[in-house]
Structure 1
């Protein structure tokens, strides 16, 4: 039987913030007994960019984390927190293992996404940069209402809105995370996965030529 490694009660009990857009965070979203093993078994992704979870090899206990995400209980929490209906929407999961200097720029998520959940899987975070900021606008990285350190099991979830501005001060180096998106349609999911897969193939091709 699959073991649930996510502390669903912590997600359930996390207070919902509504300014500047709906979001909530949980500093320790994974049970302590599993967190180190999950970090250790995070797929090796030395390049920048996002990788479809279906395109990488998953080992335990990281695989159990992915299975714990795609459950009715997890979906219910997102529905109730953000007053959205995601029980039957397609889910897309992507992984990032390395941050480039150009990453983290201020942006909002695509309108094909209903909600975004980020889970960070780094043993610790000592750098001053690389911390995700919940921003008031799309032009000032220093005008933020919250800052999330990408430590072991930190989770941030937000409803995708026209003003869901976020980003982080430039950081280059290992920065492991899972991004979960509930998408408006299967067609949107296929489009996102296609471009992530194409990007991964191009990066591997360039790497071989070096």
Structure 2
């Protein structure tokens, strides 16, 4: 059984301004969430971690397999009117947020589509809520603010004006990030970069 509500995804219109995006609470089906959260990687440090650097259970592995599958790719191709054939996917996970996270940015030019799936059972804090912005100048100038609640999806097309960020938050904040990237060379580079970052964070944690 699919953990993803692709029918709801297809039915959700793409917002075109200030850049192409959509927001879908409930993209991850309610009946799938408990098992996936139980099998989510135990990430205790801030930062993004490639799947090769974490361990996780079968329900989470099944979700990852689905995200990498043809049905998901086809749904995103149709929604964003983009050919993702032979475009590799990169998946990372986060488990904790710290005060330096959330700075306003657009994502690197090597990313074509960014997908965020949040895995937090509830969210009361005013920080850590992703804002989609009209410009890179003002975090308060936003068109949408999304609490990172369990099952919620944000997806957008990377562009020079796909500005986003969030107010500071320190603590647990689970998110799966999927990107279609421009080439396998980029995928190898980004994977090495994330591995090195994860290694340095582990060393720092041991030394502190």
Q: Equivalent residues in 2 for 1:124-163 (5 A)?
A: 124-163=122-161
Distance 2:195 2:59 in 1: 24
Q: Equivalent residues in 2 for 1:1-210 (5 A)?
A: 3-210=1-208
Contact 1:72–1:87 at 8 Å: present in 2 too? no
Contact 1:137–1:143 at 8 Å: present in 2 too? yes
Distance 2:175 2:200 in 1: 21
Distance 2:79 2:29 in 1: 21
Distance 1:157 1:186 in 2: 21
SS at match of 1:110: coil
Shift of the alpha carbon at 1:60? 2.2
Distance 2:65 2:52 in 1: 12
SS at match of 1:44: coil
Unaligned runs of 5+ in 2: none
Distance 2:165 2:75 in 1: 24
SS at match of 2:8: helix
Contact 2:42–2:55 at 8 Å: present in 1 too? no
SS at match of 2:85: coil
Unaligned runs of 5+ in 1: none
SS at match of 1:204: helix
Contact 2:30–2:151 at 8 Å: present in 1 too? no
Shift of the alpha carbon at 1:43? 0.7
SS at match of 2:162: coil
Distance 1:92 1:155 in 2: 16
- Equivalenced residue count is 208
Distance 1:209 1:128 in 2: 32
Displaced runs of 4 or more, over 3 A: none
Contact 2:119–2:151 at 8 Å: present in 1 too? yes
Deviations 1:123-165 (A, max 9, x none): 1111111100000000100000011110011000000111000
Shift of the alpha carbon at 1:58? 2.0
Distance 2:38 2:137 in 1: 36
